[in-house]
């Protein structure tokens, strides 16, 4: 943290324009850095104190609803259910208990390595494109996992194919929604309501995490393992549609540019 520069916006708020200019010069040419400072100063002059009521104004309200929907839907696409109940799913498919527990080690390893990969490409590919790539893969893999659960029997060698499909699903999730969601939420909200909106979206995300942890065993009993994974795959569709039609691409844009885009929608 000692190596990370202070936010230029905060430096401008504190009337430390010279420090802000030096920080911005690390990523922009001098003239562009000065333009950024001028733009932030203009926004600050128009800005009023953050108020919860601002969340429900046109434009800001849309941003809030979109963020909450992405936060909750992301949990019902199943990746945390795999983290929590992976050994049970694999035991149900016929793997021995020891192999099912070893599976969690592989899940963790794939998740970590995939997240590192996502961090290295998120600015090159873009937030929304990563979501399209990863979630499309999740839909296909969840459908295939559901098919395998509906057909495998104990000691069937196909269970190892199922093992590979689940790891591929974890990879698809880790390079897309798991890596992008917090970056996207922190960037997509207008400056005026960022603190309030992030708290609502973050709360929604953890409510979704709690619900999927509690509901997965019940859903497995009611729908069977195959039905649960097909449900997860179905929940990917509204996530893609919301991202396609309502979420702005934040890659390469300043917070002020993103704020203007939401304001126009209002």
Q: Is 239 exposed, middle or buried (0-12, 13-18, 19+ CB in 10 A)?
A: buried
- Confidence check: pLDDT of 208 > 60: yes
Place of tokens 């999927």: 212
pLDDT band at 98 (very low <50, low <70, confident <90, very high): low
Verdict on whether the full-model pTM lies above 0.85: no
Span 71-92, pLDDT tens digits: 999 999 999 999 999 888 877 7
Q: Which of 38-42, 89-93, 173-177 has the lowest mean pLDDT?
A: 89-93
pLDDT score for 244: 92
């Amino acid at each position: 943290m000692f190596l990370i520069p202070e936010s230029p916006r905060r430096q401008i708020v504190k009337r430390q324009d010279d420090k802000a200019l030096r920080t911005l010069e690390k990523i922009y040419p001098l003239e562009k850095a000065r333009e950024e400072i001028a733009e932030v100063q203009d926004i600050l002059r128009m800005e009023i104190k953050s108020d919860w009521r601002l969340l429900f104004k046109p434009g800001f309200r849309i941003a809030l609803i979109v963020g909450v929907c992405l936060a909750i839907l992301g949990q019902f696409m199943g990746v945390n259910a795999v983290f929590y109940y992976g050994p049970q799913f694999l035991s149900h498919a016929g793997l021995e208990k020891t192999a099912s527990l070893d599976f969690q080690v592989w899940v963790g390893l794939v998740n970590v390595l995939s997240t590192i990969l996502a961090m290295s490409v998120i600015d090159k590919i873009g937030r929304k494109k990563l979501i399209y790539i990863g979630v499309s893969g999740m839909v296909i893999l969840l459908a295939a996992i559901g098919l395998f659960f509906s057909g495998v029997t104990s000691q069937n060698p196909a269970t190892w194919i199922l093992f590979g499909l689940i790891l591929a699903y974890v990879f698809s999730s880790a390079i897309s929604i798991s890596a992008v969601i917090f970056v996207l939420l922190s960037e997509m909200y207008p400056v005026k309501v960022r603190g309030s909106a992030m708290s609502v979206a973050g709360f929604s995300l953890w409510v979704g995490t709690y619900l999927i942890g509690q509901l997965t065993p019940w859903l497995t009993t009611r729908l069977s393992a195959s039905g649960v994974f097909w449900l997860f795959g179905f929940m990917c569709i509204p996530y893609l549609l919301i991202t396609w039609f309502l979420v702005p691409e934040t890659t390469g844009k300043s917070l002020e540019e993103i704020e203007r885009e939401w304001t126009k929608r209002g």
